[in-house]
Amino acid sequence: MFEGGDRLDFAEVKNTDHAGKVKYRYQYMDAGQNMIFRYDNAPHHRQIATFPHHKHDRDVIRDSCEPSLEDVLLEIAEYRKRR
């Protein structure tokens, strides 16, 4: 949890035989539990060029590469600076 009540919920599933993550979800929410953004690789947006990797930017679905936890934390830090 961050100052002000924002929070990051995340899960990573890895396999030692696979270089990347098998499955991931990083969801950043405000104090009211409203999603600010989420990265995941759930296979439900086949129209995205980076399928299955994508970003939910509030209500917009965007192309995205597979982020690291560090990438997500840096994005949160930048977001919090702008607020």
Q: What pLDDT score does 20 carry?
A: 80
Number of domains in the chain: 1
- Cα separations in angstroms, 39 against 17, 29, 67: 23, 12, 8
Q: Using 50, 70 and 90 to split pLDDT, how confident is the model at 1?
A: confident
> Band of the pLDDT at 17, cuts 50, 70, 90?
confident
Sheet-wide strand order for 60-63? 7-14, 21-29, 35-40, 54-57, 60-63
Residue 52, preceding bond cis, omega within 30 degrees? Answer: yes
pLDDT at 68: 96
pLDDT digits (tens, 9 = 90+) for 18-69: 888 999 999 999 999 999 999 999 999 999 999 999 999 999 999 999 999 9
Q: Tell me the sheet residues that pair with 40.
A: 25, 54
Model pTM above 0.75:
yes
In a domain, 22, yes or no: yes
The reply to whether 1 falls in a domain is no
Is 2 a domain residue?
Answer: no
- Structure-token pair, residue 2: 């961050």
Query: What residues make up the domain containing 73?
Result: 7-82
